[in-house]
Amino acid sequence: MSPRTRGLRYLNMKQTHAFVGGLAMLAIALGQAAVSAQSLGTFTWQLQPFCNRVTVTVTQNGGIYTLDGYDDQCGAAQRAPLVGLAMPNPDGSIGLGFHIATSPGGKTVSVESRISLATVGGPWSDSAGNSGTLALNGSVAGSARPAPAGGLAWGTVLSGPGGLTGSQRGLTVNLPAPGAGAGGGAVVGVWGEAVTLDPDDRGGVLGMSRTGDGVIGRSESGFGVSGNSASATGVNGFSSSGIGVAGFAGSGTAVVAYSNSGTALDLGNGPILVSGSQNRRPLFFHTTAPGNIAAHVSTLDHPLLNGNPNAAVFVMHQFVPGATVLNPHALGVWYDTGIARWRLFNEDAAAMPAGLRVAVLAINVAP
């Protein structure tokens, strides 16, 4: 006698012999002629460690084993209906899968389990991230299984097929026109501790974080973050103590502001700060010295200007009493194509003094 046959005879002594025996027979003799639908019995399992108990009637219809029943929701006034299937696995276990429509609300949760022939129980997990042991006729105390969250389950990844053309959208969230003064967002992402929504927070995407970035956008060749609005702000960043909007690019443009008829860039309260490495700052200081002076001319040497005849260069004498020299002459600039450098000069041809401090603003202008 084979081990499988001895196991089946042992199980036939239990209350569950019809169900398990039927599935084991299916595992051995798949492909036999279909038989008429017949009930294999009604069984109850507890979704431990929770107090939820599911009761199902198992029906064989040829090679299909259907599960129909309910989740008692820990004895609640309303039960949650469920439907599912059972099948033998190649490893000798019995696979169960069923969908529960929780009540009230109708939020669906999917449950998967693998039960052994010896215990008629085994591990289970659901689409809401819960897991435990499926125990036949279990009745230990426990809390109710958490209700599934609305929308996508935690850990859901949406991957589009290759070769897409046009303007396909992986995920679109549409909200009807909200009432006056309503706040919120079509998509809200929170990192870390919850952040209280302000009534003025209204947007397609709201990113909130107390310790990190509200929204991070990365692109190898396009826009990291792109926002479009017909009448409001395309991209709006706010921080109570940090940076409202930050743009970073390895080799492209960090931030692009464009408007067909309105203001491309509006600076409200606060000063303009120029920071970063000295050789990449568009605003820098040039000090005249014997090494860069020739008569009434001083040569500027800066990576943003060198070899860049299309730059717009603005200069301003920055006199510091006791530290720099006074130059009572009008200053001008020109691009010397012979040395590919911008030059500063006294427009009245007066000799350029050493120690003159000049603020230089370099702006690139598209040719």
Task: Give Cβ neighbours of residue 33 (< 8 Å, ≥ 6 apart).
Answer: none
Report residue 38: phi and psi, to 5°: -145, 145
Distance, in Å, from the CA atom of 111 to the CA atom of 99, rounded to the nearest integer, reads 6
Residue 150 — very low, low, confident or very high, per pLDDT cuts 50/70/90?
Answer: low
Structural domain spans, the chain: 3-136, 185-224+242-260, 278-364
Residue 343 — very low, low, confident or very high, per pLDDT cuts 50/70/90?
Answer: very high
pLDDT for the residue 25: 44
Q: pLDDT tens digits for 262-309?
A: 888 888 888 888 998 888 999 999 999 999 999 999 999 999 999 999
pLDDT at 183 over 70: yes
Q: pLDDT tens digits for 19-60?
A: 455 454 433 433 333 455 788 889 999 999 999 999 999 998
pTM: 0.51
Among 328, 331, 330, 319, CA closest to 355: 319
According to CATH, the topology of domain 3-136 is: Lipocalin (2.40.128)
Distance, in Å, from the CA atom of 307 to the CA atom of 245, rounded to the nearest integer, reads 32
Rounded average pLDDT over 182-193: 80
